[in-house]
Amino acid sequence: MEYLLSFLIVASLLLLFMIPGNRAGFSASAWKQKPDITQMVADTATPAPWSTPVTQRLSREEIAKRLKTLSESEPPQKLARGAMCYAPKIYQPKSSEYVCPKCGRKTVYPGYMDFDVNDIQKCRRYVSSITQISIKLDESEFCKKCSPAVKTPLLVLVVSYPGESKPHRCRGVSSSDIQFIREFLDGKAVHKDSGDNETALKSSITRIQELLGVKASL
């Protein structure tokens, strides 16, 4: 009798499971118990304010907040090293020509200058790719017609912020400096130099503050 009763109970449960509505309900309950992997990744991968790329113009206050977040972030642990198997011979030209974009005057400089005149082209490309802030180059010191009294010309970076009549000027910049700015505004955590050697962008935050004229905290 006991075996018959057990058999009837098992058979009843199987019949209940075979009913379409009950089977669908059971499947839905079982699915809900499994965590949504996509949702878990979305919840845990919330980007920091500095690492969120932006396209609109940023104010001085917004730049300061992003700098503060970068200063408090953990630097990346895995950094790539560029090729160091040999030291390539650096070509030193005898002279370099500079053409002023303002007046069109050509100025010839010797190849032993501290600043590489050809680096200005790279600086222009970096500046043209930056849209988050109002940024431009002042190259007037390199033109003998525009700045005849300048003996040691340097490139000047000019940054303007909304609501401020006087722009920030930083004298003596290179393409690497402007690359720092672009990487920071693009939300990068790593700086990669011309030899593919990587360093934490956080280590260059002091220079970024000098270039932008903004401190990490107001």
Shared domain for 69 and 54, answered yes or no, is yes
Shared domain for 124 and 35, answered yes or no, is no
pLDDT at 195: 73
Q: Is residue 196 part of a domain?
A: yes
Dihedral sign, Cα of residue 168, residue 171, residue 174, residue 176: negative
pLDDT at 45: 42
Shared domain for 152 and 84, answered yes or no, is yes
124-151 in b/e form (b: 16+ CB < 10 A) is: bebbeebebbebebbbbbbbbeeeeeee
Shared domain for 40 and 72, answered yes or no, is no
Q: Is residue 108 part of a domain?
A: yes
Per-residue pLDDT, averaged over 45-52, amounts to 53
Shared domain for 58 and 39, answered yes or no, is no
pLDDT at 85: 52
CA 204 and chain centroid, separation? 12
Residue tagged 């018959």 (tokens): 4
Number of domains in the chain: 2
β-sheet bridge partners, residue 134: 160
Shared domain for 26 and 69, answered yes or no, is no
Indicate whether 206 pLDDT > 90. yes
Shared domain for 139 and 108, answered yes or no, is yes
Q: How far apart are CA 32 and CA 197, in angstroms?
A: 46
Looking at this protein, which amino acid is placed at residue 61? E
pLDDT at 165: 92
pLDDT in tens, 85-142: 555 555 556 788 899 999 999 999 887 677 788 899 999 999 999 999 999 999 999 9
Indicate whether 17 pLDDT > 60. no
pLDDT in tens, 151-202: 899 999 999 999 899 999 999 999 999 999 999 999 898 898 877 788 999 9
β-sheet bridge partners, residue 160: 134
Q: Is residue 142 part of a domain?
A: yes
Per-residue pLDDT, averaged over 18-30, amounts to 50
pLDDT at 42: 39
Shared domain for 89 and 139, answered yes or no, is yes
Instruction: Provide the domain limits for residue 39.
Output: 2-44
Q: Is residue 59 part of a domain?
A: yes
| Confidence grade of residue 144 (pLDDT, cut at 50, 70, 90) | very high
Indicate whether 38 pLDDT > 90. no
Shared domain for 119 and 11, answered yes or no, is no
Cβ contacts of 171 within 8 Å, gap of 6 or more: 154, 155, 156, 157
Shared domain for 34 and 55, answered yes or no, is no
| Confidence grade of residue 43 (pLDDT, cut at 50, 70, 90) | very low
Q: Is residue 218 part of a domain?
A: no
Shared domain for 79 and 11, answered yes or no, is no
